[in-house]
Amino acid sequence: MSLARTWSVALLGIDGRVIEIEADIGGGMPGMKLVGLPDAGLREAKDRVRSAVRNSGQSWPKEKVTLGLSPANLPKLGSGYDLSIAIAVLAAAGKVPATRLLGCVLLGELALDGRVRTVRGVLPGLLAARKAGMKRAIVPTGSLFEAALVDGLEIFGATRLLDVVNWLKGEESLTRPEPPGEAGPSEVLDLADVIGQPEARWALEVAAAGGHHLLFTGPPGVGKTMLAKRLPGLLPPLTGEESLEVTAVHSVHGSLSPSSPLVKVPPFVAPHHSVSVAALVGGGSGLASPGLISRAHRGVLFLDEVCEFGPQRLESLRTALEEGEIRIARQRGSVCYPARFQLVMATNPCPCAPPREADCSCSPAARRRYLSRLSGPLLDRVDLRVRMRPITAMSAHETGEPESTEVVRERVLQARARAARRWAEHGWRTNAEVPGPVLRREFALPGSVTSLLDRGLDRGAVTARGADRCLRIAWTLSDLADADRPDADHVATALEFRDRRAA
């Protein structure tokens, strides 16, 4: 047999597509030709595969070997095709039977001595293979913890190329995955640790209940960062679908934990202000890799000292905040990564940032210039803006006993459940995801309730986008109050949360 085929998977973002690899032997001088838009890493597979086959005790064909990767117009990147290429050549040369290859996907990079090395993106690759109707998959043994998350496929793990050869001959079995490990209880920071700041605590609860973006402004040391780090503890655990989405992004990034690969807790990502645009939103040569905003998908992206990030980095977030995904075009093609995160920002009111505003040495122009780094279009996408004041009492009895995370989380979960039931037929989970036209038409509030919002629009105090966001906040406030619909007080509170002076 001089022609054989195997299957692998190409990834575009976290979307996979099954690739057919055909190996044809004969018809020319000895050599190896690889066609089908391979990148530099894949073109080097010719040398890796040849050495791996020879060092596994198998003979390499002494004729021309032509390898075709189909669809030919789809870019193929990386070294994850090595194992599939090697088996296709051996099957075409008649060294291994091809009976078990039908409906089987092979993923893995080959070392020169025949070891099968792990690759990124095994989870989304196997999900794509299952969707395409494949029945079996062979992956590196080091990736079995990740592959075990996929139901509906017969998963095998290989340590060496020779293991796969012997399995195809029926001479030995391959490793099967163990059930995925359960993640241990994650550490939850308690809201009771935060002294005072009742307005900011209330805003954090509203943000958690509705999935809203949030901005804290205040002098250093008042608890901005402490509050932001406690937001994930108020959020509900990820659903099964959400867990697979988040885990797929982390798989492509290569940051999964072998002990508990399935991400069940909303991620919390807090980059330093020196981060590059490519690291923040995604980038790289060839096809773009996921950035920090995609790693924060279904979780929290916290930008501390946000005015130090610079306008280019901040403005790059605007599209993702609106659409919940990021599309990046590079030389080898365009990819789309999910990026539906909650943005929490914290900033000082001025460059000198003294504990007391009365001690500020900045001129009015310097203060305006500092805060103007947060552009109007970006702030218009931030639902809740809170001005925090210096702490005046350190003892609990002077500020009242603060509520714990457990108590607040219970209210948040009840409010989220109300919102989920209301939007279930549309597929939205939180109020922040609901489009403005739906709130203005299908769920329109009476004029007596929105009269204050209408006056704000008439005076130019709020934009049309801001008005839609006020309606979303009002629905969240009504959910927290266990009310059927927002009233005028809820709309007024939503407008107060969006007061630009709070920034």
Nearest to 172 by CA among 182, 181, 160: 160
Which pLDDT does position 196 carry in this prediction?
A: 83
Give the pLDDT mean for 336-346: 95
Two domains, one topology: 3-169 and 191-404: no
What mean pLDDT value characterizes the chain?
91
Which pLDDT does position 503 carry in this prediction?
A: 53
Asked whether the predicted pLDDT for residue 382 surpasses 60, the reply is yes
- Rounded percentage of the chain residues whose pLDDT exceeds 90: 72
pLDDT per residue over 96-127, tens digit each? 999 999 999 999 999 999 999 999 999 999 99
Tokens 């095998």: give the residue: 156
Which pLDDT does position 181 carry in this prediction?
A: 62
Q: Which residue has the higher pLDDT, 352 or 1?
A: 352
In CATH terms, 191-404 corresponds, of 2.60.120.680, 3.40.50.150, 3.40.50.300, 3.80.10.10, to 3.40.50.300
Is residue 120 a contact partner of residue 252, using CB atoms and an 8 Å limit? yes
Burial 10-23 (b: 16+ CB within 10 A, else e): bbbbbebbbbebbb
* Domain range annotation of the chain: 3-169, 191-404, 434-503
Give the pLDDT mean for 33-39: 88
Nearest to 107 by CA among 35, 164, 46, 175: 164
> Which tokens in the block code for residue 249?
């992004």
pLDDT per residue over 471-480, tens digit each? 999 999 999 9
- Rounded percentage of the chain residues whose pLDDT exceeds 70: 96
Which pLDDT does position 396 carry in this prediction?
A: 46
Asked whether the predicted pLDDT for residue 399 surpasses 90, the reply is no
Is residue 178 a contact partner of residue 155, using CB atoms and an 8 Å limit? no
182 confidence band (pLDDT: 50, 70, 90): low
Topology classification of domain 3-169:
Ribosomal Protein S5; domain 2 (3.30.230)
Between 29-43, 291-305, 434-448, the lowest mean confidence (pLDDT) is in 29-43
Question: Is cis: bond before 349, omega within 30 of 0?
Answer: no
Which pLDDT does position 378 carry in this prediction?
A: 94
pLDDT per residue over 293-318, tens digit each? 999 999 999 999 999 998 999 999 99
Which pLDDT does position 461 carry in this prediction?
A: 86
Asked whether the predicted pLDDT for residue 336 surpasses 60, the reply is yes
Asked whether the predicted pLDDT for residue 373 surpasses 70, the reply is yes
Tokens 């039931």: give the residue: 421
What is 242-257 written as a DSSP string? HHHHHHHHHHHHT---
Which pLDDT does position 183 carry in this prediction?
A: 59
Which pLDDT does position 394 carry in this prediction?
A: 55
pTM over 0.75? The answer is yes
Distance (Å, whole) CA 289 – CA 389? 40
What is 91-126 written as a DSSP string? HHTTSS-SGGGTTEEE--EE-TTSBEE--S-HHHHH
pLDDT per residue over 138-170, tens digit each? 999 999 999 999 999 999 999 999 999 999 999
Distance (Å, whole) CA 321 – CA 70? 36
pLDDT per residue over 77-98, tens digit each? 889 999 999 999 999 999 999 9
Asked whether the predicted pLDDT for residue 1 surpasses 60, the reply is no
Asked whether the predicted pLDDT for residue 185 surpasses 70, the reply is no
Is residue 106 a contact partner of residue 125, using CB atoms and an 8 Å limit? no
353 confidence band (pLDDT: 50, 70, 90): confident
Asked whether the predicted pLDDT for residue 48 surpasses 70, the reply is yes
Asked whether the predicted pLDDT for residue 339 surpasses 70, the reply is yes
